[in-house]
Chain A
Amino acid sequence: MSTETQSGTVERSIVERLRASPFLSQLLSNRLAVTGIVIIVAVVVLAVYARLTFNLSDLLATQFGTNPSEAAPSMAYPFGTDGQARDIFPRVLYGAWYAVLYGTVTVAASTALGVGLGIVAAYYGDLTDNLIMRTMDVLLSFPSLLLALALVTIFPEELGLWRAVAALTLVYTPRFARVVRGAALKVLEDEYTDATKALGATDPRLLIRHILPNCLAPITVQSTLNYGLAIIDIAALSFLGFGASPGEPTWGMMLSNGVEFGLFSGAWWWSFFPGLLLALTVLGFNLLGDGMRDALDPRMRETVD
């Protein structure tokens, strides 16, 4: 049997295992998790629809003369209009695009960084492990939102919301590194790792082909739980004035403007609807993340910070 067919067989068996996976069937039998999936899919569809339908410059421009200013929700303006007479409805939909885009980049970047660092730390051990993990420990000794606030300042203001993404990526990376290192250490103890090494696999091959796939479960759960957190934290930074530029239709910015200029003059809808969509989206990710964790291992404890 040639090595090629051998690896083909292995891959097929992985696919079969996934199909019959108790994880997926258990996840899909969890009503709350399915609700989460429905919410997430709806938000992503809205986000893509808004991105393709609306022109960002139209959403940014003030609409005095065209629309009434601070009009209450009505048939014409389902979510009302804001202080610049802009229709809030399409802006809130466009906010979904921002949330999905920036949230995805944040989670993807911190996952990639954390996975890399965690696996390298576990595999090489000793000094490398100590160096990486003690650095992670130091980063973990800051309350996350405060570290993000301090880190935002080191990136140039022109980056706008990408500043928040960069800061939060650095803040979240240590959590992934910890989770992955733990999982990788377990994999390294297994006999098949020794066998692969004995067969002459190179370090990178061993790390990517053998160790990484076996750490995927905890990585996925951690990413999902972090997704909601990333979206809420990006909006929090915008709310505090670090991130989105004024007028930009992100949920955090709309909320911040709505609270500052609209809430107490009676225009509650200005901040209410962006906040509602934000909370719903985060709830969707939390429902799914929770369900995934239960499906994976009912005893696995969360480390939400």
Chain B
Amino acid sequence: MVSNRFVLKRLLLLIPVLFGVATVVFAILHLSPGDPALTIAGERASQEFVNEVRSNLGLDDPLWQQYVRFLGDVATLDLGQSYQVNRGTPVSTILADRLPITIELALLGELAGLLFGLPLGILSAVKQDTWADHLTRVGALSGISVPIYWSGPLLILLFAQFLGLLPTSGRIGSEFFIEPVTGFILVDTLLAGNMAAFQSAVVHLLLPVVVLGIYQMALLSRMMRSSMVEVIRQDYMRTARAKGQGSKITVMKHGLRNAFIPVITVIGIQFGSLLGGAVLTETVFEINGIGTLLVDAINRSDYPVVQGTVLVFAVLYTLVNLVVDITYSVFDPRIEQ
């Protein structure tokens, strides 16, 4: 079992990392060219007004004061206000609206990747060096080589434009308005009991999940294969077979649990690529998650939103890896030392 001490230690280690992350975000924003005061005041504003805006924002304070204030704000979850979106909307509100959309997409993409990637990887390892193995490996390598921003549009062209089976973009049909409760559209449509809206949401998600899932599937099947190949060679597997167990049962009972251990870590590490993929997927399919939010905010020099979004992405990534580390220690208690 996982000891509380281990979890506590990992949580404490989180503090310096988050502190570092906040520092990097602060540094990036302050190194960016462009004057936020000018952005807010507008190009044609008088110099006095620009100066007034600047001092209201505290941008003429010494850098260290701004830094300390920033850390304080972040610690109290105050991410400032957007320069652009309905001028003055708190960044945390915008993020809370958009985040569930991205998480929904990312989770389903990861799930699709696991569902297909793990069995393929196991198959590939068990049938090592057969045509099935070669096919899976080449397929997986192709899967990580094809950019989402190429496969996505091509799939839209095929399934939406030519075959007319699926919608081209967006997250749900424009005729539906669903009161956000959880923010997860699939859940909210079900809560509202609106089956037509739910169906529309599912249909809109199909292609994005496939595009995002292919990449994850490719990565996971590679990882699962190499881990499984390693495990099959181990002595305890031979012993199990020698005891007279069928090779299928051996693989299932003894192999999987051990082969999963490195795969779990990799799921954590790859969560970063999943989030990056989600940003590209959202752009391709015009989905209003935090990926498109970030890209728009950078384009409009909306610094507080850029800052908040990047911070949230990093925290999400770090937390997922924390959970992964703890899960890992459940599978392999030796890790705690």
With A146-B310, A241-B299, A264-B157 as contacts: A283 and B270 at CB distance below 8 Å: no
B residues in contact with A271, CB < 8 Å: 150, 153
With A150-B28, A228-B145, A279-B150 as contacts: A135 and B20 at CB distance below 8 Å: yes
A202 within 8 A of B: no
With A134-B16, A141-B317, A264-B161 as contacts: A146 and B150 at CB distance below 8 Å: no
**Interface segment out of the listed B113-121, B136-144, B177-185, B205-213:** B136-144
Closest to B294 in A: A149
Q: Find out whether the CB atom of B275 lies under 8 angstroms from the CB atom of A146.
A: yes
A255 within 8 A of B: yes
A residues in contact with B299, CB < 8 Å: 241
A residues in contact with B149, CB < 8 Å: 235-236, 239, 255-256, 259, 275
Within the complex, the shortest CB–CB distance from B265 to chain A, in Å, comes to 9
Complex CA–CA separation, A139 to B146 (angstroms):
26
A residues in contact with B168, CB < 8 Å: 264
Q: Find out whether the CB atom of B294 lies under 8 angstroms from the CB atom of A32.
A: no
B residues in contact with A150, CB < 8 Å: 25, 28, 298, 306, 310
Q: Find out whether the CB atom of A239 lies under 8 angstroms from the CB atom of B306.
A: no
Closest to B33 in A: A156
Within the complex, the shortest CB–CB distance from A79 to chain B, in Å, comes to 15
A residues in contact with B266, CB < 8 Å: 301
Complex CA–CA separation, A220 to B212 (angstroms):
29
A173 within 8 A of B: no
Closest to A141 in B: B318
Among residues 141 to 170 in chain A, which have CB atoms less than 8 Å away from a CB atom of chain B? 141-147, 149-154, 156
B8 within 8 A of A: no
Complex CA–CA separation, A283 to B142 (angstroms):
6
Complex CA–CA separation, A228 to B28 (angstroms):
26
Q: Find out whether the CB atom of A236 lies under 8 angstroms from the CB atom of B270.
A: no
Among residues 15 to 58 in chain A, which have CB atoms less than 8 Å away from a CB atom of chain B? 32
A residues in contact with B230, CB < 8 Å: 299
A residues in contact with B272, CB < 8 Å: 142-144, 305
Q: Find out whether the CB atom of A279 lies under 8 angstroms from the CB atom of B310.
A: no
B residues in contact with A272, CB < 8 Å: 154
Q: Find out whether the CB atom of A138 lies under 8 angstroms from the CB atom of B157.
A: no
B residues in contact with A298, CB < 8 Å: 229
**Among A134, A139, A255, A286, which residue has its beta carbon within 8 angstroms of that of B141?**
A286
B residues in contact with A302, CB < 8 Å: 222-223, 226
A residues in contact with B100, CB < 8 Å: none
With A138-B17, A150-B306, A153-B32 as contacts: A232 and B147 at CB distance below 8 Å: yes
With A150-B28, A303-B269, A305-B270 as contacts: A235 and B147 at CB distance below 8 Å: yes
Question: How many residues of B sit at the interface, in one of the four size bands?
Answer: 35 or more
Question: How many residues of A sit at the interface, in one of the four size bands?
Answer: 35 or more
Q: Find out whether the CB atom of A304 lies under 8 angstroms from the CB atom of B270.
A: yes
Complex CA–CA separation, A298 to B228 (angstroms):
12
With A154-B31, A278-B150 as contacts: A146 and B145 at CB distance below 8 Å: no
Digitize B294-312: 1 where CB-to-A-CB distance is under 8 Å, 0 elsewhere. 1100110000001000100
Q: Find out whether the CB atom of A142 lies under 8 angstroms from the CB atom of B317.
A: yes
Complex CA–CA separation, A256 to B276 (angstroms):
17
With A134-B16, A301-B262 as contacts: A153 and B141 at CB distance below 8 Å: no
Closest to B292 in A: A240
Within the complex, the shortest CB–CB distance from B53 to chain A, in Å, comes to 21
Closest to A241 in B: B299
Q: Find out whether the CB atom of A304 lies under 8 angstroms from the CB atom of B144.
A: yes
B219 within 8 A of A: yes
B24 within 8 A of A: yes
Within the complex, the shortest CB–CB distance from B299 to chain A, in Å, comes to 7
Q: Find out whether the CB atom of A145 lies under 8 angstroms from the CB atom of B150.
A: no
Q: Interface residues, chain A, CB within 8 Å of chain B? A: 32, 134-135, 137-139, 141-147, 149-154, 156, 228, 232, 235-236, 239-242, 255-256, 259, 263-264, 268, 271-272, 275-276, 278-280, 282-283, 286-287, 290, 298-299, 301-305
What are the 8 A-B residue pairs with the smallest beta carbon separation, nearest first? A145-B276, A275-B150, A138-B20, A143-B272, A283-B145, A282-B145, A154-B31, A143-B275
> A239-B283, A264-B161, A286-B141 given. 8 additional CB < 8 A pairs?
A138-B20, A141-B317, A143-B272, A143-B275, A143-B314, A145-B279, A278-B147, A280-B145
Q: Interface residues, chain B, CB within 8 Å of chain A? A: 16-17, 20-21, 23-25, 28, 31-33, 137-138, 141-142, 144-147, 149-150, 153-154, 156-157, 161, 168, 219, 222-223, 226, 229-230, 262, 266, 269-273, 275-276, 279-280, 283-284, 294-295, 298-299, 306, 310, 313-314, 317-318, 321
**Can you show 9 pairs from A to B with CB atoms below 8 A apart?**
A142-B24, A142-B314, A145-B279, A146-B294, A154-B31, A236-B149, A239-B283, A259-B149, A304-B273
